[in-house]
Amino acid sequence: MNVDRSPIEGMPDFAIEVVSESNLAQDMLTKVHQYLDAGAKAVWVFYPNLKVVQIHDRQGTLEIAAPSSLQDKTVFRSQSYTLPLTPIFDEDITK
């Protein structure tokens, strides 16, 4: 296996990033722009401490906060996708 070569050619249709306390805002924004400039249709950035998701695409940025649901048509070929955010950000996953 050649570790210097990516096993998959090209760019994914979308990327998901989860922000941790060690991430800098400017670094995350740089990553978002790199994904979009390389051809990704959208980048979803999850902020667990804020319970917020930002959807970045070529039209701009949309911010959604729990308890709302993330709804997107960009990534899945015009089919609507809904993701409830409350279970994603639920701190007590034992319930």
Q: Where are the domains of the chain?
A: 14-89
Spell out where 1-95 has E strands: 14-18, 42-47, 52-57, 60-65, 69-72, 81-84
Q: What is the pLDDT of residue 1?
A: 45
At CA 60, angle to CA 42 and CA 24, rounded to 5? Answer: 75
Interatomic CA distance for residues 43 and 95, integer angstroms: 30
Higher-pLDDT residue of 84, 95: 84
Mean pLDDT of the chain: 83
> What tens digit of pLDDT does each residue of 15-41 get?
999 998 888 888 889 999 999 998 898
Residue 78 has pLDDT above 80, yes or no: no
Q: Which of 34, 45, 30, 38 is nearest to 13 (CA)?
A: 38
Q: Which CATH class is domain 14-89?
A: alpha beta
Percent of the chain topping pLDDT 70: 83
Q: What is the pLDDT of residue 76?
A: 72
Where residue 6 falls among pLDDT bands split at 50, 70, 90?
Answer: low
pTM (global) more than 0.85 = no
Residue pointed to by tokens 């899945």: 76
